[in-house]
Structure 1
Amino acid sequence: MTKRVIVTGGSGLAGKWVVQNLVEHGYEVMNLDRAPMAARTARTLITDITDAGQVFNALASSTAPGEFADDLEPKPIDAIVHFAAIPRIMITPDNEVYRINVMGTYNILDAASKLGIRKVIVASSETTYGMVFAHRDRSPEYFPLDEEYPVNPMDSYATSKVVNEVTAKAFHTRTGSDIYCFRIGNVLEPDDYAKFPAWLKDPALRKRIAWSYIDGRDLANACRLAIEKDGLGFQVMNVAADDVSSDVPTAELLRRYYPGVPVRKQLGEFETLLSNEKLKRLLGWKQQHYWRDEAKNIVQ
């Protein structure tokens, strides 16, 4: 039986990999976005997620691939992957970052609850830990960063993501639906591995993100596994690679750039500082794309 999934933000950097992965695995997918997908992997319904009426109508629409399909009757939606958002600070005013991200997520979760859609994957962010977009250099309370960390950001983007996690928990409490929030690390595409020579030359460039990364294809696998894993209720999970995006060992990175920050576990030589243990434990996720393999023909 075909499963129907709506992906919001499927025209974006991360969302397009999710759409492609789901289509390749036999899902019927519809994309909600402000512009069609460049690759036309799935049909896009142009939707303003800050408009509650548009969101409700979109989630109740047919996911058929086109207007001449044999069956245009709307069918039940099995899951939503919600990636649509302003993706960072400093591209729109801060109040717009906050408004669009918070209201968009509320509208998606509200409509899903009223339409009986029982599975939503929400894109949260590593920025919730408060370092990435801080107004000044800021050290965390401890490493590795895990889902129990007392998040306390100061910027509009990360704050919007924290609010979205609270909103997701509220809707789970209301409906009992499975709502999984992914705190996603720095998303890389295949072309991005050409940037590694510069990144390796100056490790400080990626200090604020604690040298995290996640290949878009690995992120897409995590989303599909989340759709296929029922019964976890409300969960927050980091989505990050197993290793740091540096050829400097993790312990040396900490010594140079985060001296004095407590380390709560024994870390492997190049182990990530954005813990992915919960993701692996709950979803059985395994990394497939490592920067060393992807960049081996580029990095000298």
Structure 2
Amino acid sequence: MRILFTGGSGKAGRHACRYLRDQGHRVVNVDLVPLDEPGIENLRADITDAGQVFNALTSYAGFDELEPGTGVPRFDAVVHFAAIPRILIEPDNETFRVNTMGTYNVIEAAVKLGIRKIVFASSETTYGICFADGRADPDYLPVDEEYDINPPDSYALSKVVNEKTARAFHTRSGADIYGLRIGNVIEPHEYETLFPGFFAHPETRRRNIFCYIDARDLGQIVDRCLKTDGLGFQVFNAGNDTNGMNLTNAEILERFFPGVPVKRELEPHEALYSNLKIREMLGFREEHDWRKYVPEEK
């Protein structure tokens, strides 16, 4: 596929771009900072400028596409990851503006140009636990996509608005538009640098509901979205199969979520940030369990 990928220079985006390239897709990264990666083209653009977004989506992917003399090819899909990635980087109103207007511009341009597959980054923060003021309990566990999302912070709120924007454009166009509520992204080198600290201080992972998503597995999820047609508008939790912690669910629930209702029987290490939907609907199969890279010590 010929794919325009916004935000491909970021922590999550660069691994997803590499995965898509390695699957044989042609990837054009649209970002303010280029990605220095063989086989991936770069185009610098500001997603909050609708004109630049429309222009990027009607651009050549490289000089070789000039040779046939048949005009600019159409992109087959858009993957939209570009955003201010959390609170406390920009003022709250700027975070909200960039994330909501950027997403509106990207999805609007893609739909009006007839692109039928759009994948966009939502966030684990939509569940309202990650950036809560003080301790917040989930309404129930495991957290799944049926949860009533009502987060308190500007970043998570922008992601909720983006999901509604995507749903509205699906209603308008009938295009497949899939949102990924991406968990805490872990790059390959971070298992060694971060996980020993997680195990020593498990309380630091409560706000993430003990979730993680390997950056390479996230690439697979994006690819599965691109290859799975006909689902309309959907949101998916993007997380790995198990908790990113060397404690059982019985231990986690007792220590960190006492009194929180549990919807169903859980496997001992089954992710409290449920990824059942991506496994069942997209055919996701985890390749990078943290236990491959970190000793399971207590």
- Determine if contact 2:60/2:66 at 8 Å carries over to the other structure: no
Aligned pairs for 1:35-184 within 5 A:
35-64=33-62, 66=63, 70-71=67-68, 73-184=71-182
Q: d(CA) in 1 for partners of 2:125 and 2:169? A: 23
- Determine if contact 2:177/2:233 at 8 Å carries over to the other structure: yes
Structure 1 match to 2:198: 199
Structure 2 match to 1:264: 263
- Determine if contact 1:123/1:184 at 8 Å carries over to the other structure: yes
AA paired with 1:14? Answer: A
Structure 2 CA distance for partners of 1:52 and 1:271, relative to 1, 3 Å: same
Shift of 1:295: 2.0
Q: d(CA) in 2 for partners of 1:92 and 1:290? A: 33
TM-score relative to the length of structure 2: 0.96
SS in 2 for 1:207: helix
AA paired with 1:85? Answer: A
- Determine if contact 2:2/2:25 at 8 Å carries over to the other structure: yes
- Determine if contact 1:188/1:215 at 8 Å carries over to the other structure: yes
Q: d(CA) in 2 for partners of 1:35 and 1:263? A: 43
Structure 2 match to 1:210: 209
AA paired with 1:189? Answer: E
AA paired with 2:227? Answer: E
Structure 2 CA distance for partners of 1:4 and 1:68, relative to 1, 3 Å: closer
Structure 1 match to 2:275: 276
Q: d(CA) in 1 for partners of 2:275 and 2:288? A: 15
Q: d(CA) in 2 for partners of 1:134 and 1:180? A: 26
Aligned pairs for 1:19-38 within 5 A:
19-38=17-36
Q: d(CA) in 1 for partners of 2:100 and 2:160? A: 9
Q: Deviations over 1:176-202 (max 9, x none)?
A: 000000111101001110111111011
Q: Which is worse superposed, 171-180 or 8-17?
A: 8-17
TM-score relative to the length of structure 1: 0.95
Shift of 1:70: 3.2
- Determine if contact 2:65/2:72 at 8 Å carries over to the other structure: no
SS in 1 for 2:11: coil
- Determine if contact 1:19/1:41 at 8 Å carries over to the other structure: no
Q: d(CA) in 2 for partners of 1:108 and 1:15? A: 16
Q: d(CA) in 2 for partners of 1:25 and 1:210? A: 31
Shift of 1:288: 0.3
Runs of 4+ more than 6 Å apart? none
Q: d(CA) in 2 for partners of 1:71 and 1:278? A: 42
AA paired with 2:247? Answer: V
- Where in structure 2 are there 5+ consecutive unaligned residues? none
Q: d(CA) in 2 for partners of 1:90 and 1:112? A: 30
Q: d(CA) in 1 for partners of 2:79 and 2:177? A: 10
- Determine if contact 1:196/1:299 at 8 Å carries over to the other structure: no
SS in 2 for 1:122: strand
CA RMSD of aligned residues (A): 1.5
SS in 2 for 1:281: helix
Structure 2 match to 1:4: 2
- Determine if contact 2:181/2:238 at 8 Å carries over to the other structure: yes
SS in 2 for 1:190: coil
Q: Deviations over 1:66-98 (max 9, x none)?
A: 479635731011111100000111111111110
State the identity as a percent. Answer: 50
Q: d(CA) in 1 for partners of 2:68 and 2:31? A: 23
- Where in structure 1 are there 5+ consecutive unaligned residues? none
Structure 2 match to 1:239: 238
Q: Deviations over 1:5-51 (max 9, x none)?
A: 01100111111111111111111110000010033541110010000
- Determine if contact 1:214/1:241 at 8 Å carries over to the other structure: yes
